[in-house]
Amino acid sequence: MIGKLLLISDCKASPLFDVLKTTAFHWRHKVMEAMKRYALQAPLKEEIQIDETYIILNMKGMKSLPRKAKKRKKSSEKRGVNNEDVCVLTAIDSNDQLLLEVIDQGNPKTENIIDTLDGRIQMNQTIITDSKSAYIEVAKKFKATLHQIPSGFHRNGQYHLGSAQSSENAAQ
């Protein structure tokens, strides 16, 4: 229930608890902070779906830009994944434990993925990913069974990345 309450506005949550909007706002942030601490302590286990999403680097407020300024909702001048994109690693396990972490600019290096997941994944688990070759090394490091979804497909037998991709969409 708490997870669903975090998705509604403070205005809608305040009458549910019979408190002011400002109190609902402060409670929401206290709960989110507590959830963040809990999420960092609990390692991902069992079936872990790992994927990455890319968000255009926001340089709003910088005095000097290393590139030409953009207007709202404009995509990158460069094609494909490049250094104007920020890579956010998304991992979710079968118990709905979620990990969202900015790991790199552009295409992530294997070392950065391993460093991000180190201490957050238990050994000998099942990892489900896309066909990125970096995940082969990640699976070896964590002694995990690796199931990769081929490029252009949404599933490989019983394995899919639906939960990880829905988490990415919610984060964006």
User: What confidence score (pLDDT) does residue 63 get?
Assistant: 65
User: What structural domains does the chain harbor?
Assistant: 2-40 (no CATH), 44-171 (3.30.420)
Report pLDDT digits (tens) over 20-39.
Answer: 888 888 888 888 777 776 65
Question: How far apart, in whole angstroms, are the C-alpha atoms of residue 36 and residue 99?
Answer: 10
Tell me which residue of 42, 13, 24, 3 sits closest to 167, measured CA to CA.
3
pTM here is 0.63
Question: How far apart, in whole angstroms, are the C-alpha atoms of residue 104 and residue 114?
Answer: 12
CA-to-CA separations, 8 to 14, 23, 154, in angstroms, rounded: 10, 15, 30
Tell me which residue of 140, 154, 132 sits closest to 51, measured CA to CA.
132
Report pLDDT digits (tens) over 50-70.
Answer: 888 887 766 666 666 666 666
